[in-house]
Chains A and B, each alone.
Chain A
Amino acid sequence: MRAVQPRERGLARRERWPLYAAGLLAETRFVLALTAVAFLMAVVAKAVF
């Protein structure tokens, strides 16, 4: 009897998706951290001037 071939292959294999999602979230967190720094700069600048 022939073995059943997995339907998903390559880059889009199902077991990889949690890793991809974690990577995407890590990138988003990095951007939001830079955004928070910029907001703090604006608060300080407005407090100074």
Chain B
Amino acid sequence: MLLRPRLEDHLVIGKYTGKIIIGVGLLMVVPLLTSVVLAEWDTVLDFVISVAACLIFGFSTQLLCRTERDLSWSHGMVVASGSWIVATVLGALPHWLSGHAGSYLDAMFDVMSGYTTTGLYLLQDLDHISHGLNMWRHLLTYAGGQGIVVVALTFLFKGAAGAYTAYVGEGKDERLLPNVIQTARAIWFVSLTWLAVGTAALAVTGMVLGQEPLRAVLHGLWVFMGAWSTGGFAPQSYNTLYYHSLGYELVTIVIMIAGSFNFALHWAVWTGNRKELLKNVETISFAVTLSFTVLIATFALAKAGVYPDAMALFRKVFYQLVSGHTTTGFSSIYVRAFVTQWGPIGLMATTMAMAIGASACSTGGGIKGIRMGVISKALLQDIRRAISPERAVITAKIHHIKDVALGDGVVRSAMLITIAYLSLYGLTAIVGTLHGYDFLQSAFEGVSAASNTGLSCGVTSPSMPSVMKVLYILAMWLGRLEFMSVFALGGHLLSMVRGRG
């Protein structure tokens, strides 16, 4: 039986959603300052309006929704999913005001793509957008990768016991440290340390390639944010193909893969447990599935004779597959090359890598390595059980930071989310096909959106039907939040209409 939410429920949801939107408004100060420093006055005005809109919304809800109640489990889920929608609507203001978005829907598409670290975009004339807007695009992915609830937890929630529910609602469920706010700060600590190291490495590489120092640093920072957050936004329309550099590719490969690791794994490795890298179910699963998809694509493209030598073959195949598997979306080939050069086998290998995706509790999307590990182990366990004597006791465990017994509940949970992802992948592929796109291409693009990857074979464009834009927005949102909190929001809305009070 559904119970109609009481006024107190709306107040607590409004209060915490408002806090998160204040966080989004404060985040916009960074691109605002960038534009001030670089004298981009039109962009400054765009951001002043946008910051004001976020702060007015945020503080209004604080005034209107005054309550001492803390978040309950269902409130946290609704706040996590609902705040992403409100943050997308308000976060789209700078895109729309810039004049580079064809419509407000296109602007919202790009912002949801940023928050969810997808990387698909509809922005037009990308090579000529302001530095401020570029900063905002990349900051969206960087903050979204950590989770905008994590941003708010780190800086705006002080000791709220219910904050953990909003954190879980955002698709992260691991505590690096005993306290959830300390955990959020540890996540930021790892990310900011990598930010300093990665940006420096890319900036130096850029300068060696001949970029001016300011441009090299800005590109280094933005490309780092795109890689680490597995977001895939880049400052140029040719993405990372723009740099034509093996050095740039190698540095971004390291950042993409590191960005796709579980934050709990980072923390274990950084606090001395370095062997965890070789024992963890997610790194093992990632190494196996990445090598498998690379093997397929490498041999298919070698046979087709697409690339002239082993180095070119390695650079193109490994880069796109790492980008797909980590759900980053960086690309060092032309968009249509997936169709015109890679062919069906290359497309399928990349789609498979994108569908599996990165690690749980990371910046990445997709089904996730831990679920692949759990399902594979469960399958092996069942096979062993089938061929063993009836009385034999067959147990299985997975290793993630510590050994975990593989119970039915763990397997069921992994299967449920996997089925949800596969259904979403199927739905996006079917809708694309119904709109006249080739099935393989619409499956590639749909999986790319729903797994928050952002690689494109040319389907995503401003001229794409609005139905598909809306579907991709929903797919990105569902995929990033891993369904449950979005279902909770749906249940909350339904209970407002049909609940008994």
Question: Is B one of A's binding partners?
Answer: yes
Is B444 at the interface (CB under 8 A from chain A)? Answer: no
Is B250 at the interface (CB under 8 A from chain A)? Answer: yes
Give 7 CB contacts A-B under 8 Å.
A24-B197, A27-B277, A35-B250, A38-B291, A38-B314, A39-B318, A46-B309
Q: A11-B185, A24-B193 are in contact. Are A32 and B254 (CB under 8 A)?
A: yes
Quick check: B258 and A48 within 8 Å, CB to CB? Answer: no
Is A34 at the interface (CB under 8 A from chain B)? Answer: yes
Is B242 at the interface (CB under 8 A from chain A)? Answer: no
Say how far B19's CB is from chain A's closest CB, in angstroms. 23
Contacts of A26 in B (CB 8 A): 269, 274, 277
Quick check: A38 and B270 within 8 Å, CB to CB? Answer: no
Chain B interface mostly: helix
Quick check: B277 and A30 within 8 Å, CB to CB? Answer: yes
> How far is B315's CA from A42's CA once the two chains are assembled, in angstroms?
9
Interface size on B, residues (CB 8 A): 40
Residue in B185, B271, B314 with the greatest tally of chain A CB atoms within 10 Å:
B314
Interface size on A, residues (CB 8 A): 27
Closest A residue by C-beta to B250: A35
> How far is B185's CA from A48's CA once the two chains are assembled, in angstroms?
50
Quick check: A34 and B290 within 8 Å, CB to CB? Answer: yes
For chain B residues 221-269, which have a beta carbon within 8 Å of chain A?
250, 253-254, 257-258, 261, 266, 269
Quick check: A42 and B317 within 8 Å, CB to CB? Answer: yes
Q: A28-B258, A49-B305 are in contact. Are A22 and B314 (CB under 8 A)?
A: no
Quick check: B313 and A11 within 8 Å, CB to CB? Answer: no
Residue in A11, A12, A19 with the greatest tally of chain B CB atoms within 10 Å:
A11
| Beyond A22-B274, A24-B193, 9 additional pairs, beta carbon < 8 A | A11-B189, A12-B189, A27-B266, A28-B254, A28-B258, A30-B278, A34-B257, A38-B318, A41-B314
Residue B313 contacts which of A20, A27, A37, A42 (CB distance < 8 angstroms)?
A: A42
Quick check: B294 and A38 within 8 Å, CB to CB? Answer: yes
Contacts of B287 in A (CB 8 A): 34
The interface stretch among B295-303, B340-348, B485-493 is B295-303
Is A45 at the interface (CB under 8 A from chain B)? Answer: yes
Say how far B490's CB is from chain A's closest CB, in angstroms. 38
